[in-house]
Amino acid sequence: MTPAARVQAAIEILDLVIGAARANGAPADRLIGDWFRARRYAGGGDRRAIRELAYRAIRACGEIPETGRAAMLQLAAGDPAIAALFDGARHAPEPILPGEPMASGGVAPAWLVQRLEASGLDQAEAEALLGRAPLDVRVNTLRPGVPSLPPGGERTAAANGWRFPPETRIEQTTAYAQGAIEVQDTGSQLTCEVVAARPGETVIDLCAGAGGKTLALAAAMENAGTLLACDADRTRLSRLSPRAERAGATNITTVLLDPGKELEALERFRDGADAVLVDAPCSGTGTWRRNPEARWRLTEKQLARYVAIQSRLLDVGASLVRKGGRLVFVTCSLLDAEGAEQAQRFLERHPGWTPAIPELPLGRARGPGIRLSPQHDGTDGFFVARFVRL
């Protein structure tokens, strides 16, 4: 494909991404994959270039663009080489018309930029939310021996963490196939360390999803003790079993929860868990490096819904913890509404609890917890707080 045809292809993809963002449809990654599957003629180089162009345009536009072309014009406004490819040749985008509307630039929609500012993020830190994520892995201590890792890696601040260049094909390594390593962001690994799960304990991962953090907890517990992986989403939870098998994690029991009736399924653990992790559903502002179009999908109403469910799940988690036990609250968000403020409100609602601010090698204190950010810590954005029941 010619460079100009690649730009036109990226514009078509952007139209799909924008449509899906408006209609709460599939994520960009899946749309791009489907687009290529239907166009086998595009070679590896074309695919990489088109994907790169589409993501650069997504990152360049703060508000959701009207069209894919308007998004690409925003990118072209800062890159004359791309602008020059709008030449109307065969398969190329039509020439740019004088005064043709282009999407607006910026980090995120205006309301969200305001929320980020109010949450103490300066411009540089906000922009870093849209940077490139490295490839982090956790060495799985449940697998004996030292795994043979691909070249180019370096140790991270996490106890068992390594970082590789983003293009590393980690899933093709023997270490990955044997379950000796798991792909997991350093920030995510550190939030698991805050749980400080120990062998023999009863630990509940209340929002386990597909078990990214559950597997780290199982490793910390050395497969000894009870580890419940709960979630309200059957499909996500069903992905955990094969992952646990690959990782050699044998002490995990999955529990499908009914939203609003979580405690009914967990009644026998009431006041009994040593630790409960609430890795709550959130806006995901800390993971825009991986899915930058997520900022076009979020609405104030949705954010309010996340805040409400986080608060409810924290209350559910609290009633499962034994006296002296710990409750760990995590969101992959940098918004105080889903972090420091949420944690503070928990403490106000629950006088029988005290904050035990985690000591981490990365991050900065924010209210009664710690916040990690891409710019300051080189991780995804997270908030983590730990509370101890008196």
Binding residues for S-adenosyl-L-methionine: 231, 258, 279
* DSSP string computed for 110-132: HHHHHHHHHTT--HHHHHHTTS-
Please name the residue that has the structure tokens 């709550």.
Answer: 280
CA separation for the pair 192, 186 (Å, rounded): 10
Residue 272, token pair as written in the block: 């009994």
- Given candidates 57, 130, 257, 273, which one binds ligand SAM under the rule CB under 6 A? 257
Please name the residue that has the structure tokens 């005064």.
Answer: 99
- Residue 150 engages ligand SAM in binding (rule: CB under 6 A): no
**Is the Cβ of residue 14 or residue 216 nearer to ligand SAM in the bound state?**
216
**What residues numbered 277-296 form the site for ligand SAM, per CB under 6 A?**
279, 281
Residue 71 Cβ vs ligand SAM, minimum distance, rounded to whole Å: 28
Q: How many residues does the chain have?
A: 390
Alpha helices in 201-339 (DSSP H): 212-220, 234-238, 240-247, 262-266, 294-297, 300-318
What's 65's DSSP letter?
P
Question: Could you give the 3-state DSSP secondary structure of residue 332?
Answer: coil
The yes-or-no answer on residue 207 being catalytic is: no
Distance of CA 362 to the CA centre of its chain: 18
- Given candidates 201, 262, 293, 338, which one binds ligand SAM under the rule CB under 6 A? 262
Residue 250 Cβ vs ligand SAM, minimum distance, rounded to whole Å: 19
The contact mask relative to ligand SAM for 305-344 (x = CB under 6 A, - = no) is ----x---x-------------------------------
What's 225's DSSP letter?
S
**Is the Cβ of residue 93 or residue 211 nearer to ligand SAM in the bound state?**
211
Question: Could you give the 3-state DSSP secondary structure of residue 323?
Answer: strand
The count of other CB atoms within 10 Å of the CB of residue 114 is 11
Stretch that binds ligand SAM, among 44-52, 63-71, 257-265, 369-377 (CB under 6 A): 257-265
Residue 32 Cβ vs ligand SAM, minimum distance, rounded to whole Å: 22
CA separation for the pair 371, 121 (Å, rounded): 11
Please name the residue that has the structure tokens 């043979």.
Answer: 148
Please name the residue that has the structure tokens 């059957």.
Answer: 234
The contact mask relative to ligand SAM for 206-245 (x = CB under 6 A, - = no) is xxxxx-xx----------------xxxx--x---------
Residue 386 Cβ vs ligand SAM, minimum distance, rounded to whole Å: 16
Q: Which residues are catalytic?
A: 332
Which residues lie near ligand SAM (CB under 6 A)?
A: 206-210, 212-213, 230-233, 236, 257, 259, 262, 279, 281, 309, 313
